[in-house]
A and B are shown apart, each in its own frame.
Chain A
Amino acid sequence: MEPILEGLGLAFSLYNMALVIAGVLIGVLFGALPGLSSPLAIALLLPFTIMLEPVSAICMMAALYCAGTFGGSITAILINAPGAPPAVATAFDGYPMARRGEAGRALGLAAVSSVTGGLLSLVVFIVATPLLAEVAVSFRPPEYFALTVFALSMLASISGRSSLRNLIAGAVGVLVSTVGTHLGTGIERFTFGFHELTEGVEFVPVLIGLFAVSEMLVQSQTADMAVERIRSVVVKLPGMDDIRRVAGTVLRSSGIGTFIGILPAEGSTVAAIIGYNEAKRWSPRKHEFGTGVPEGIAGPEAANNAATGGAMVPTLALGIPGSGTTALILAALIAHGFRPGPYLIQKTPEFVYAIFGAMAVGNVAFLVIGLAGAKLFARITLIPRTFLWPMVFGFSVIGAYSLSGSFFDVWVMLIAGAVGFLMRRHGFGAAPLVMGLILGRMLEETLSQSMIMYDNEWLRLLESPIVCGFFALAILGLAWPAIAARMAARRSREKE
């Protein structure tokens, strides 16, 4: 009980509350702007939060994560331009509802469903994290190696257009993580004589480049695009009729979202799409979906925000990111000198409870801020891109530079930006690369330790049933896209 109170005390201190509110504001703002997203906001914030207390920094990012997911829905509903990928499904019914003059009702439904999903997933987060950590504390390097392989295999089914390209991007990330001194022998790898690379590639400039600079290059091509004007919106909370109508959908989607969030590598976007599909499948008014039905907003919104709490479970309990954004939070934890994993909750439980508190406050805060300021946040889309993106680039340069006061990091950021731009153009996602980069070191370290344990006899890895279980799940994870496609094809044949 003491760590819970201590953690909540930390989260509810005036200073941390102010940072949480700032995180919510930044999150809603970045979420609402098409092109800007919560991963981008966290990547930009990371260098500046290094100087904060670790608890304060992570609380701020956790609140930003929740709020950013909701922020995307504002523009999805009002102008059919999802501010962030998890809000794509919200636009299917949110925008038609707004078009028939019920924008306020749509926003209210989105906010309430989002908060409910977020809070329900936090309950799972706070119960499941210590339990999972307790199981994981008995893991030895072979089990961790197998778990990391499983997490990377899930990149095959992460959101994005192509499983193959996600896997390539993940493998490239793992390869980049090998840059620097090899821990086992002290030999330098791929450093090209740059002393700045002896300790490996810094995460932060790479993250800023992949998310912010590549997006700026994409946006440079649409700088002259006209921006839709926002109509006057009065947001209203859903009435009892609406609440009764969507209650089942919200509960179901919250469960789906939390479960998908817990799966390594899966994130809010997948959760939202499944949440929408399930809402449609269970609805007696299936044919009305896409015309502006409340369930079509509640389903994806509850699911995408529930995924945020779920995604924190493997991130904090195992050190395996539950989504692209939590990969960045994991990078922040590492930058603050923490080793995420079961020992984090065992040694500093109050830290995990503080994050829980911050996310809970974040959820309530974005309900208030989101509802009160929806009109204002939507107006932010009116900021000319010709000013907005140079601002983002300015912050990127300052952020990359300020990390270690070196222009080398700024160059790394630019290279990562160009690589990210080319990758996106050819269908490779930035999130899988980040996952690979973050998990790569763990993968190599645990493999080396396992081989020392087993005298370089590879097959002995299979002596552990847990290892076999994770490998089986990894094979399933890799095969899942093909299985799912076959199942879908069979269903459509049966329908015909």
Chain B
Amino acid sequence: MRRPAPGRVHRTDLALGLTILALVGAGFYLCTTFEEVSPLFADSIPPEFFPRLMLWVIGVLALLLPFEHAFRRKRGDSGLDEDRKDAVRPIAYITFAAALALVAAAEWLGAYLTLVAICFALPLLWGERRWTPLAAFALGFPTAVMVLFTQAFQIYFQPGVFGLSLN
């Protein structure tokens, strides 16, 4: 993470504020793409009014973000950087990528096999190398969960291409 500049502006928060402002701009653009309102509803508040109001609020507050550190420093309070003082470890990105991949494969694998894959892949990614507990967990936990939810709660889960389910 970049260190705060010695002056009034905190660089990370400046980047954050600008990102939020860019998203606010995109939001304003999207508001212009809403369908036109029928003249029948001309008297009521238009659909873009409220989202625009919120975008204004967010935009104005985002403008203050880069200066927040300076305000807080005056009060002797500088706890804002505590959660981001260390860079995000790659494992967080890898975990999210794995989660995306597993969910993307879920329709194809079906719910049961997806759970097995989650319970096998994530511990492995996080450094678990005790194979017996890992195998027991990867099979035992999904089976227990699926039995509970299909039998007790009568929830239907997609079996996937292998047709494997405990429905």
Contacts and interface: CB of A to CB of B under 8 A. Distances in A.
Interface stretch (A35-43, A98-106, A219-227): A219-227
B36 to A, nearest CB: 8
Interface in A163-222: 164-165, 167-168, 171-172, 174-175, 178, 182, 184-185, 187-190, 213, 216-218, 220-221
Enumerate the 4 nearest inter-chain pairs by beta-carbon distance, A residue then B residue, closest first.
A182-B47, A390-B122, A386-B128, A223-B126
Contact of B122 (A168, A389, A485): A389
24 contacts: A162-B80, A171-B57, A171-B61, A175-B58, A182-B47, A184-B41, A185-B37, A185-B41, A189-B34, A190-B51, A221-B92, A390-B123, A390-B137, A394-B115, A394-B141, A394-B142, A398-B115, A402-B155, A407-B106, A410-B106, A426-B83, A427-B80, A451-B44, A488-B75
B37 A387 contact: no
Contacts of B164: none
A386 B84 contact: no
A386 B31 CA distance: 44
Contact of A386 (B37, B123, B145): B123
A174 B106 CA distance: 31
B20 interface: yes
Nearest to B103: A410
A489 interface: yes
B96 A167 contact: no
Contacts of B126: 220, 223-224, 385-386, 389-390
Nearest to B77: A485
Interface in B142-161: 142, 145, 149, 153-157
B68 A162 contact: yes
Given A171-B58, A185-B47, A189-B47, A387 B115 contact: no
A395 B149 CA distance: 11
Nearest to B37: A185
Interface stretch (A18-26, A235-243, A312-320, A417-425): A417-425
Contacts of B47: 182, 184-185, 187, 189
* Most chain B CB within a 10 A radius of its CB, from A217, A390, A397: A390
A3 interface: no
Interface of B: 12-13, 16, 20, 27, 30-31, 34-35, 37-38, 41, 43-48, 50-51, 54-55, 57-58, 61-62, 64-65, 68, 75, 77, 79-80, 82-84, 88-89, 91-92, 95-96, 99-100, 102-103, 106-107, 111, 114-115, 118-119, 122-123, 126-128, 133, 137, 141-142, 145, 149, 153-157
Contacts of B31: 189
A485 B75 CA distance: 7
Contact of A220 (B65, B92, B128): B92
A397 B100 CA distance: 11
A444 B115 contact: no
A394 B118 contact: yes
Contacts of B115: 394, 397-398
A165 B133 CA distance: 43
Nearest to B124: A386
A213 B34 CA distance: 32
Contacts of A402: 149, 153, 155, 157
A228 B38 CA distance: 65
A185 B145 contact: no
Contacts of A395: 145
A185 B46 contact: yes
A424 B83 contact: yes
A220 B119 CA distance: 14
Contacts of A282: none
Given A402-B149, A485-B77, 10 more contacts: A171-B57, A189-B34, A220-B89, A224-B126, A386-B127, A394-B142, A418-B96, A421-B92, A426-B83, A427-B83
Contacts of B100: 414
